[in-house]
Amino acid sequence: MITTLSAARALTSKGIVENPLLSLEDGYIAAITSRDHAEAPANTRHFPGATLTPTLFDIHLHGAANHDIMEGTPEALSAVSGFLASRGVGQYLPTTVTAPVDATLHALEGLADIIEGGTASRQARPVGIHLEGPFVSHGKRGVHADELILEPSIAIFDRFYQASRGHIRLMTIAPEVPGAIEVIRHATSKGVRISVGHSTATRAETVAAIEAGAVSATHTFNAMRALDHREPGILGTVLDRDDLFAEIICDGIHVAPELIRLWLKAKGPHRGILVTDGMSATGMPDGTYMLGDFEVTVAHGRATARGVLAGSVLTLDKAIENLKHFTGASLATAIGLASTNPAHMLGLQAPTLAEGQPASFNLFTEDGKLQATCLNGQFLN
C-alpha cells in the first residue's frame, strides 16, 4: 500500500523541493514529486508549513531515559534508542566515560553485541561507539574521574578496540599527553576517527595531532585551554582550521549564544557538528541520576557533579531550535549540522531523503520545532 504525504518543502539528496509529495511503500520512499507538477492523491496526509528533513545523527551521547551507556545491556540501549527516536534521531554513537578498564571493556563488549544484533524498526540505531576517556588531560578532565585517567597507550587502546570488535568509530583524546600522538596514528590506521578534547594542548600540540590524523574537536569551548591572543591553543586552532570538524553543545548552558555565533562563523555549514553530550537524565524530571558510576544532580536543565557540568539533558531537535534562535541560521543549515556533517566526519553515508531509501525522516515547523518523526515507514508521533 502506498502512503503519500505533503509538506511545504523537503530537504532531499538533490536539494530543496518546494511543495513536495512523498510516496511511501513497504517502509521505503517510493517517489518524491511536487504538487507543482502533480495532484495530491485523495488520501494524502498533509503537514502544512512543515519541512521534511533527514533524521538526525548524535555522535556524542552518554545516555537518556534513566539509562547510562556504560550499562551496556540490551535493556538500557533499547530505552535510549527508543527515546532518541522520539526526538528525531535515526542513528547515534553511544559514548563511554572514563571508568575502570574492566568496566570499559565490559561496556564495549555489550555495545558491540547490540550493534551487531540490530535494533527495532521504531528505534534509533547505534552505528558505532565513541570512546571518550580515559585518554584525557588531568587539567581539563571536566567530570571524568581523575584517578581513572590513563596515559594513552597502544596496548590499552587495542584492548578496547578488540572488546568493541572494531566498532569504535570515534575517540576523544588530549593530544598533549605523552603517548597521544602514537595512539592517534595507530587508531587512525584502524579507521577510527580522532577528536581532540578534554585538553590543555597548545597550538603546536594540536597541529601535531591533526598531522597524525585528528579530524574533529570534542564539545568546542568546553574542557579546552582558554583562548589567548599569543597562544591560540587548542581552541584557536580548532576555530581557525578549515579542515577540522568541531562539535558544540547548543543548549545555552555550556556555551553562550555569542560564542555559538562565533563558532558557526568559523566552522561554517560544512564543518560544525551539533551534539548533545546527553546523559541518563535526558528526558527525565529534575533529580539525581548516574553518569558511569557516579551521581549527577539535575536542576533546571543543568547537570552537575563534583562541582562542574556533567553532560547535558539537551536533545538534538532542541539543539536545532536553539541554533536557529541564537544565530538566525536556516533550518537547512541546522539540519546539516546535526545530520550530514557528523556522518561525513565519520566517513559514513549521511541520512538522506531519496527515492529507494528507507522512509526515515522528520518534519520540522518553520521555527525549528520537531513536529513528527517517521522511521522505516512508521510514524512515531
Catalytic (active-site) positions: 277
**What is the Cα–Cα distance from 371 to 193, expressed in whole angstroms?**
33
Residues with Cβ within 8 Å of residue 165, at least 6 apart in sequence: 109, 112, 116
**What is the Cα–Cα distance from 210 to 234, expressed in whole angstroms?**
11
Taking a C-beta distance cutoff of 8 angstroms, is the pair 341, 46 a contact? no
Q: Burial level of 297, CB count in 10 A (0-12/13-18/19+)?
A: middle
Cis peptide before 134 (omega within 30 of 0): yes
Beta-bridge mates of residue 364:
51, 370
Taking a C-beta distance cutoff of 8 angstroms, is the pair 80, 93 a contact? no
Cell numbers of 372, please? Answer: 513528527
Residues with Cβ within 8 Å of residue 21, at least 6 apart in sequence: 4, 5, 6, 31, 32, 33, 34, 35, 38, 40, 44
Taking a C-beta distance cutoff of 8 angstroms, is the pair 208, 175 a contact? yes
Handedness of CA 147, 149, 152, 153 (dihedral sign): positive
Cell numbers of 129, please? Answer: 561507539
**What is the Cα–Cα distance from 5 to 34, expressed in whole angstroms?**
11
Residues with Cβ within 8 Å of residue 328, at least 6 apart in sequence: none
CA 159 to chain centre: 25
